[in-house]
Structure 1
């Protein structure tokens, strides 16, 4: 696993949108985020494909891909941080020249949602560690919960180091209205509780190499060159932990997705599954299919440990999870995840 250089004061972060950009109404928030990063000592480079939301994207696919390639090949840049996700980052993958990128210095790719599309591809194709974490537009002073506040701190670790994060105390399904109040942070309303859907055969821990992100977008990549779990498992005999979170799939769509993954033998290459909280609310109708019905009906038979309701994705706050790191999730006296950059 190739870990990019630790992020510290003096590191350069490039900002470009892989899919959806920011609109004029987001400029005050973006200014606060940039000021916050500069106060931490980071240098900021803003790309031309940041602004714009026409047809769900900041710019045509070729322009977004070219800008991303330019940043990836520029070894003065240490990290690339989109403002948030979107819908169409998948358009970039066939346009990236991975042969050229093999000669480049590894760079951190950070964020969640559709950012996962690019993050897992760089991990699988190049062996670069990448990051599933709070999005760039979350990083304001008011976002003071430990998971969000320490997002970039964890990336200051040297290769070979280890860091630990604990389960959040509270979470929320509500997004802050930072258009009318640019400085707004999350208001957490519900207690967090990680739990087992399927417990390990012994003990209360699982371990392995991390890979994953937003289920909605990654379902299209399983079995392709961009997310080949079988190849990853062959390279890392310590095993693979796949982590996923549902952003928008209804219970029926999620059921179809899991069955499709089984048909493609996706789960055969992992030794544990970790799921974030679902961002989709269940129906109020008594006879309708529910999220937990799908998990119990379609995943319990896998005979691997499955941890659910973890701090991953569209129900913040977010853990900082490093694709490619060796991780240990523990659910005993306390709920935590330790990651070793080896």
Structure 2
């Protein structure tokens, strides 16, 4: 597995918009995220040509979006790449990626939601990629989020202390305040105390495997295409799934999980992590948990793999950084999720 070089506070980070043109529509929130990357993390920001492009222009030009990614990997002065935000059709850029160039120059690459397409595909090809905060969803809200979020970011980016024990955040939120209101820019809606943390629904033994996953709905775009993993890929994987703001019902999530079962995947993997579902009621979360176990254990007999839910990643905040290809340990006995090895080269 090809790892990127570890980042430093002075690292030059390129900003791309591989899917949505929200920086064009909400420039103040976007610029707040850029400023926070520089002020709180210490990165030097480099905006790529499509970063502020209009939604219409981005939609019409998937090759331009891919070209930005290619240029980032070609430029030796760029240390890493972070997406501005998610979207809904970045799968259209995949045919235009210069895979040989990218794989010869592994770099830090992070996004969420629709970025699942290229993050999961490049990881299949052998490079560690990173899932979660973006400029507009995560970094723009640093001042409003619990201080543990910034501590986590710095630990992941700059520290070489591994194994790294993930920890639930003390509180979380479902949403941000209106990005068009400058008086509340960067603020979040009401927080919920995270008294329980995450929960292992099943599992009695410690398991280790390699992370792979992303947004469940986006992964559906990739099934039956050449960008979907080969059946041999699934051995020793820990799958992580999260749902978007479109809020698929618990039954719809069950449909998606059933497809993985029919591919024989649950008999090969080492565990499943499910992020906190955005905008679900307590009753809907309970139903989701019931359906998840009914599919994985009841329908496909995978009763031995750990399944942990309400993990702090996905479309709620604050978010944990998950490296696709990173080796993790799921411990249902101690309720721990541990990143065993550094996802960077030193």
- For the aligned pair, the TM-score class normalised by the smaller chain equals 0.7 to 0.9
Q: 1-side partners of 2:224 and 2:2: how far apart?
A: 22
2:291 corresponds, among 290, 294, 306, to: 294
Partner of 2:311: 310
Partner of 1:263: 262
Q: Which segment drifts farther, 305-314 or 148-157? A: 148-157
Q: 2-side partners of 1:326 and 1:2: how far apart?
A: 13
C-alpha distance 30-58 of structure 1, shift in aligned 2 (>3 A): farther
Partner of 2:6: 6
Q: 2-side partners of 1:148 and 1:186: how far apart?
A: 16
Q: 2-side partners of 1:95 and 1:328: how far apart?
A: 35
2:191 corresponds, among 188, 200, 205, to: 188
Do the aligned residues in 1 keep the contact of 2:10 with 2:43 (CA within 8 Å)?
Answer: yes
Q: 2-side partners of 1:99 and 1:309: how far apart?
A: 37
Do the aligned residues in 2 keep the contact of 1:194 with 1:335 (CA within 8 Å)?
Answer: no
Q: 1-side partners of 2:174 and 2:334: how far apart?
A: 27
Partner of 2:93: 92
Unaligned runs of 5+ in 1: none
Do the aligned residues in 1 keep the contact of 2:176 with 2:187 (CA within 8 Å)?
Answer: no
Tell me the SS of whatever aligns to 2:76.
Answer: coil
CA deviation after TM superposition for structure 1 residue 144, in Å: 3.7
Q: How does 1:56-71 map to 2 (within 5 A)?
A: 57=58, 60-71=61-72
Partner of 1:212: 213
Do the aligned residues in 2 keep the contact of 1:142 with 1:183 (CA within 8 Å)?
Answer: yes
Equivalent residue pairs, number = 329
CA deviation after TM superposition for structure 1 residue 209, in Å: 1.1
Tell me the SS of whatever aligns to 1:327.
Answer: strand
Deviations 1:276-300 (A, max 9, x none): 1222536989xxx942342132122
* TM-score, normalisation: structure 1: 0.85
Unaligned runs of 5+ in 2: none
Partner of 2:326: 325
Deviations 1:148-206 (A, max 9, x none): 31325412245x94322211222222223333122324642242521122223x3xx43
Do the aligned residues in 2 keep the contact of 1:166 with 1:337 (CA within 8 Å)?
Answer: no
Deviations 1:179-236 (A, max 9, x none): 3122324642242521122223x3xx432111111111113335755342644456xx
Partner of 1:32: 32
Tell me the SS of whatever aligns to 1:219.
Answer: helix
Q: Which segment drifts farther, 248-257 or 319-328? A: 248-257
Partner of 1:155: 157
Partner of 1:54: 55
Do the aligned residues in 2 keep the contact of 1:147 with 1:319 (CA within 8 Å)?
Answer: no
Tell me the SS of whatever aligns to 1:45.
Answer: strand
Corresponding position: 1:199 with 2:203: yes
Q: 2-side partners of 1:59 and 1:143: how far apart?
A: 35
Corresponding position: 1:174 with 2:171: no
C-alpha distance 55-27 of structure 1, shift in aligned 2 (>3 A): closer
| Stretches of 4+ aligned residues off by more than 4 angstroms | 55-59, 222-225, 282-285, 331-336
Do the aligned residues in 2 keep the contact of 1:199 with 1:306 (CA within 8 Å)?
Answer: yes
Tell me the SS of whatever aligns to 2:113.
Answer: coil
C-alpha distance 228-128 of structure 1, shift in aligned 2 (>3 A): same
Q: How big is the alpha-carbon RMSD for the aligned residues of Structure 1 and Structure 2?
A: 2.8
Do the aligned residues in 2 keep the contact of 1:82 with 1:111 (CA within 8 Å)?
Answer: yes
Q: 2-side partners of 1:5 and 1:14: how far apart?
A: 15
CA deviation after TM superposition for structure 1 residue 19, in Å: 0.4
* TM-score, normalisation: structure 2: 0.84
